[in-house]
Structure 1
């Protein structure tokens, strides 16, 4: 039996379904989670469908979470979208259900769940969810709101179709989604917009970023700067792609100091794979887009050194 049919069978067997995603959500986390919830709610009106997790920050225009009591997990099917490893799942009750399914597109380095569908060729988990719908379209219902959410996830994880993960299939899926009734232009603007304070911080990033002769770049954002500009760690996500707009920069790291003293590290590349660097520093992700953690500035500088070495030897 194909994996898409196995997942549908499990959904049909359970009256309660709880959908999780990763911590600190991005548009794909919320798009895949919310899109799946909308599809299942429309397809199975007698089932109880919940989407859970922590705060969504400034992405509330996409979807909001529901409050679920512990006892709801008894005999429930739990589905986790867009989350590579279990420690990143938002709401640690994900393992309290009767059955656990993983649906994702990140490298499957840390498998979990009773059933897993990971398609690393997909641009996003939202694309995976759409493929799940298409494989079962005789049994599932697509709605305008589900289409809006899945489209948002694809736009978010492809950088508005700029990244190499964008395939002809990705564009075909996006084309089919925009045929539904939602304002795609408005949604694109919402995803791309930044607040005035983040715009001011962007100026600081462009002014202060350091790059070597080979195109390795680093940006440090200490707590003092975040406080000065009134920006939270979550809001700095809007700046991740900024160094990549500079033509000579090949790979870069943005090092954001946390209140606890360690650095959250966001790694991006235009060519050389940087996920092995991330894995060596308590992280992981895609070859060209990964995340890691540095215990202190010394480790952060060591990570930048590894980026420099990677770019230097890249052909």
Structure 2
């Protein structure tokens, strides 16, 4: 299964690499980690990381996105990372590529590539890529390892999620042998600015709690802009409500836009300690992992129904 990546990269002289919209550290880390390995290994190949910029608070830790014309893409191998469904790929031109390979750790949603490597028990797409290199006996560059390690610790919350396995630690150890600066990776992914610190405290102080087991927060555009945040920065902070012993699940809903009637439309992030909730998210225009997923395009009434479904799931 892993060999497909190496065979396809060897075959194509032009490679375009994609990830999901509003990328997190795993999406960006896997994208630039893979790009770095290809450039290190095949310096004559044309390799491009595609997608919009300005998508999150961690963008400053990564290079600028590349820009290519349509003709280049039609000649390329497209590698799509960390994305379960085609609608979330941050550049629909991947559909025009000569060949498509998907590598992902989300639960299967749909097939949209010629070859798909899906391992939904892995903690991060960065973990899959690092495991590929490790199994192949490749010593990757320190910069490539830094990108992959950053995405790994971000998506596993520094190895604290419930789906951790010994293999994840094995992969992390491999990355360290390649020259990862652990202190820098933690600083890049988990330090915060004063404005984000104040926003996080705002969520802690104002979140609502249902039956002492489900915490949630609904944040208006006016609220997060008061702290100087973008939508993408604001939506990252669902973790703020985690770590409370009584909370079995927690959710953060962020206003993204308003419809023609002036009603606020929200995207949300859902988390659960032990109960599977991604099936619930699927019915609200979302999806993701069993205990960590997203929803989108919700009005206040949708949010209220969703919260009741989460409460019911907690009680099952």
Task: Tell me the TM-score normalized by structure 2.
Answer: 0.94
Instruction: Determine helix, strand or coil for the equivalent of 1:64.
Output: coil
Offset, 1:224: 2.1
Matches within 5 A, 1:66-215: 66-137=66-137, 142-215=140-213
Q: For residues 213 and 26 of structure 1, what CA distance do their matches in structure 2 show?
A: 32
In structure 2, the partner of 1:304 is 307
Shift of 1:288: 0.5
Question: Could you say what secondary structure the match of 1:103 adopts?
Answer: strand
Worse-superposed segment, 51-60 or 171-180:
51-60
Write out per-residue CA displacement over residues 93-117 of structure 1, whole angstroms, 9 at most, x where no aligned residue: 1111100000001001222100000
1:58 aligns with 2:57: yes
Instruction: Kindly indicate whether residue 296 of structure 2 is the aligned counterpart of residue 293 of structure 1.
Output: yes
Deviates most, 222-231 or 98-107: 222-231
- TM-aligned CA deviation for residue 227 of structure 1: 2.5
Task: String of CA shifts for 1:134-182, please: whole Å, max 9, x gaps.
Answer: 3334xx5511111000000100100011101221111111111122234
Q: Is the 8 A contact 2:78 2:101 kept in 1?
A: yes
Task: Write the distance in 1 (CA, Å) between the matches of 2:100 and 2:152.
Answer: 24
Task: Quote the residue 1:219 is aligned against.
Answer: 217
Q: Equivalent residue for 1:233?
A: 231
Separation in structure 2 between the aligned mates of residue 283 and residue 100 of structure 1, nearest angstrom: 24
What is the RMSD of the two structures over their aligned residues, measured on CA atoms?
A: 1.4
- 2:2 alignment partner, SS class: helix
Question: Following TM superposition, by how much is the alpha carbon of 1:63 offset from its aligned partner in structure 2, in angstroms?
Answer: 3.4
- Structure 1 178/141 Cα, relative in aligned 2: closer, same or farther at 3 Å? closer
| Deviation (angstroms), 1:230 | 2.0
Q: Does structure 1 conserve the Cα–Cα contact (< 8 Å) formed by 2:78 and 2:94?
A: yes
4+ residue segments displaced more than 3 Å: none
Q: Does 1:34 align with 2:32?
A: yes
* 1:45, distance to aligned residue in structure 2 (A): 1.5
**Distance in structure 1 (CA, Å) of the matches to 2:253 and 2:235:** 11
- Whether the 8 Å contact between 1:39 and 1:141 is mirrored in structure 2 is no
Which range moved further: 291-300 or 117-126?
A: 291-300
Segment of structure 1 superposing worse, 210-219 or 94-103: 210-219
- 1:187-237 Cα deviation digits (max 9, x unpaired): 201211122112111122111111122511211101221122222211124
Matched, 1:267 2:267: no
What secondary structure does 2:294 align onto?
strand
Count of aligned pairs between the two proteins = 309
- 2-structure distance, mates of 1:258, 1:5: 41
Distance 1:210 1:311 in 2: 16
Q: Secondary structure at the match of 1:272?
A: coil
Q: Does 1:9 align with 2:1?
A: no
| Distance across 1 between alignment mates of 2:46 and 2:297 | 41
